[in-house]
Structure 1
């Protein structure tokens, strides 16, 4: 989750750099969230922007974050992740502890070396990602206006506000939560909570099993509702505001948080399937 959040910041700071209309006004809207913090909000806003409005000073700060600070943090986080993975081992599709079954040399019977198995597996994923990434970059870079908005081809103009300021596609679910709450401060709290609550997910799951293969029906229903809610919020966050869409965003926001807040209940009391003693094929 720390890597995911760092990637969000990295992507947003890079989005501001072209200095188009949507880049400028997106930076203006996002940075203005700081003003909703009681007492210190306005001072924090000026400190973040380097002035009373988004300017060249702000652009240099975003550039430094995008090119130096965040990439270094990502390298550190990935290194720590690999160290932790080497220490505790990776999971398996059945979600069982393989260290309980070992051979004479003390090696888990169902364990496999990190190299070449995981390195080759991840290499395949990298190749597939680079293929899709190249297709987007060379053939459909605008992706129908979702990746590059038409207004962003216009130079930034502080005197002309775009008709509709929509966030970049990877932030639309959380932006929909913000717009669903009438109060600016509580909308900001809701949006921040939508991201922060993912950090405590391991402590919310009280199930006796790890794999979805053996979880009960309530967990499967909850995951389905969560996926629908997240996709619905993503769509609504990219659409113009209307009464019906605001109501739908509020409904999806409730079901989104219900997935997490009710997890200690339905995961603890649901009936699960028995776990196998060894990893199945």
Structure 2
């Protein structure tokens, strides 16, 4: 989508003209995050989470590079090297706590970002590619976080690696060779630490590259908005700078305050105390759990306890766990409703909140022991999770009667004037021409 009413970059000085002719970086920045990029005028604070996710990634990369200078990827001294960082490196405790809590805050803002996309239909045409790249980023984040959790080489690090890589052994014929190839042996040890450390260092830069594609894809159709109605003219937009740079700046300030509270006052609240015990292959922890941001998927894995047909329960659990994430790739084609925003989809809105509650309950069940009634609850919640996407969503898309959409974005913003509405067409776009405000 082109925006003919967008401001165009015009270098003022001779120096900036010279730079722009040879390396148009100022023009690129201006068109990407400046006055040259018009955005819908009705975006709320849920649109802050993309910027916050980028800030969290930057924080992780900076602290990770410095931590890598002092870490030793060797099973004999990995735990001691982390203690050395905490006790002997200047501000090492701050770097380590910022990196550990930064991972949790990264997932918090990404989960909020995904939830906003689900509520406002940001995965619908013409923004499918933005959504697909976002799911790729999410998968890369999960891989990076898992390998980073192994590096401190505490009890949960070792046994978490043992359990997670053990999932691959459930795959018939090739599962065990894949597991041995991943670990570099039959159990987590030096080879696994070196592999995980190298990939943990590399993948954040891969994530940054995919984020660039994600933003590039976003700039083609432009941002979605709370109404889900397409932009129709300059009256519906404002320049990204200074309006949304100021709004994002406020959100970033709130984010940093909350982040600082965890780093300075409760740095271990989101971690597991067993990870302050050195890894011991001969002592299994009483209860092995992953980091909190993996718990809903871990609950889905544990919910399969009975062999079905010729497939063992373990393999069913592994397929369901990965399938619960891969399902997001086909979401744009499962939801066929022409309306994007849940603000105008009264029936879908109830099921959306039911899904959020279901995922939160799965997270609670993920850290619960594998016994009744937790297993039965996990089975029920896992069944509802898949039913929401595969059964409920397609049916609701066909039977739901959406509310009338506003004529334009500007009409929905101007609360003091009478707002006209129009029938919705394909993609939730009003089919009656909008009036200029």
State the TM-score, normalized to the length of structure 2: 0.60
Partner of 2:194: 60
Distance 2:287 2:216 in 1: 45
Q: Partner of 1:276 in structure 2?
A: 406
8 A contact 1:207–1:215 mirrored in 2: no
Matched-pair contact (CA < 8 Å) for 1:21–1:155: yes
Deviations 1:64-90 (A, max 9, x none): 11112x111111111111111121100
**Residue in 2 that maps onto 1:244:** 373
Who is 1:71 aligned against?
Answer: 204
Matched residue SS, 1:119: helix
Answer yes or no: is 1:2 the counterpart of 2:132: no
Indicate the RMSD between aligned Cα atoms, in angstroms: 1.3
Runs of 4+ in 1 over 6 A off after TM superposition: none
In the other structure, the counterpart of 2:247 is 121
In structure 1, what is the Cα distance between the partners aligned to 2:281 and 2:229?
57
Who is 1:37 aligned against?
Answer: 171
TM-score, structure 1 as length reference? 0.92
CA deviations over 1:96-152 (Å, ceiling 9, x no partner): 011xx33xxxxx320222333333333333332222122111111121xxx221111
2:386 maps to what in 1?
257
Tell me the SS of whatever aligns to 2:238.
coil
**Structure 2 partner of 1:167:** 290
How do 1:1-281 and structure 2 match up within 5 A? 1-68=135-202, 70-98=203-231, 101-102=232-233, 108-143=234-269, 147-182=270-305, 183-217=313-347, 219-262=348-391, 263-279=393-409, 280-281=412-413
Contact 2:154 2:279 in 1 (8 A): yes
Matched residue count: 269
Give the conservation status (yes or no) of the 8 Å contact 1:172–1:237.
yes
- Pairwise CA distance, 1:37: 1.0
Structure 1 residues 177-204: Cα deviation after superposition (integer angstroms, max 9, x where no partner): 1100010000100111111112222221
Contact 2:343 2:349 in 1 (8 A): no
Gapped runs of 5+ residues in structure 1?
A: 103-107
**Cα gap change, 1:179 to 1:17, in 2 (>3 Å):** same
Partners of 1:35 and 1:45 within 8 A in 2 = yes
**Aligned equivalents of 1:134 and 1:260: distance in 2?**
37
Separation in structure 2 between the aligned mates of residue 116 and residue 8 of structure 1, nearest angstrom: 34
Bigger mean CA deviation after superposition, 71-80 or 126-135: 126-135
Do the aligned partners of 2:292 and 2:363 also contact (CA within 8 Å) in 1? yes
Offset from partner CA, 1:136-181 (integer Å, 9 cap, x none): 11111121xxx22111110000111001101110000000011000
Cα distance in 1, alignment partners of residues 317 and 377 from structure 2 = 15
